[in-house]
Structure 1
């Protein structure tokens, strides 16, 4: 079978996702689809607006709301209104959430390292450059 962009992107995405979720499971972390990406995003901000999480993670706002509700119920995050603005919810990691987010990031970095094994730094930079262009085209 001939390798095409489509088949390689799907295979890479599914393989990466499977490896991440397998390792999360081995670490007794039962996370739903979307949660690892949101954990990783939240680790880089003290307090984020839900709409920024949706934009940053490229997840539909309604899906973010659903995922965050699950995370809040498990004690990973808390949400609050700020300055009386009831439209904008701000999200922060709890102590348990921060610990979990750090483990999630560690696992994602391990999988990334495995995926890029045998690829030079220069090739990785080129790959990131090209995939960034593809992503820009897809989000237009």
Structure 2
């Protein structure tokens, strides 16, 4: 007889989820300790705009894996904080281009040592070979789920 029991403790999902939550906790704590009013999601937007300033909201939504409405809410908060500005696209009045403000650039620069320290902590005791294996396995999981792997 076939069992309907699911072995959660030995499946990947819960372990990946727990790891993400712990990582987000430490990132948020480090931002707060450095006086940064910033969430992980906002930091990702700052990173994408740092890489290519002036993206339109549709491109940005694709890159940060968010739907248009949740991105619009996130950008509104970031605009209120003075991190970004939006201006109407010249060729399509229905969309906005998103730009880093000077404050947004400064905040992003302040995140770099925090991120570097967190990465060092995460990768402590893990060899380059193990890191490569982990990254390749996570890419395969993302592919299995049909997700784009456009992250930091």
Shared fold (TM-score, shorter chain, > 0.5): yes
Equivalent position of 1:41 in the other structure: 48
Q: Which runs of 5+ in 2 are unaligned?
A: 1-7, 148-152
| Structure 1 moving runs of 4+ over 3 Å | none
Aligned CA RMSD, in angstroms, stands at 1.8
Structure 1 distance, partners of 2:112, 2:62, is: 19
- Does residue 87 (structure 1) correspond to residue 103 (structure 2)? The answer is no
Structure 1 distance, partners of 2:117, 2:66, is: 24
**1:9 and 1:55, CA in 2 relative to 1: closer, same or farther beyond 3 A?**
same
Structure 2 distance, partners of 1:90, 1:52, is: 9
Query: 1:129 deviation in Å?
Result: 1.4
Equivalent position of 1:17 in the other structure: 24
Higher strand share: 1
- Does residue 67 (structure 1) correspond to residue 74 (structure 2)? The answer is yes
Structure 1 distance, partners of 2:112, 2:64, is: 14
Q: Which runs of 5+ in 1 are unaligned?
A: none
TM-score after normalising by structure 2: 0.83
Query: 1:135 deviation in Å?
Result: 1.5
* Contact map agreement 1:77 1:91 (CA 8 A) in 2: yes
**Greater C-alpha radius of gyration:** 2
Query: 1:139 deviation in Å?
Result: 3.3
Q: How many pairs align?
A: 140
1:1-140 pair list within 5 angstroms: 2-32=9-39, 34-140=41-147
Query: 1:84 deviation in Å?
Result: 4.3
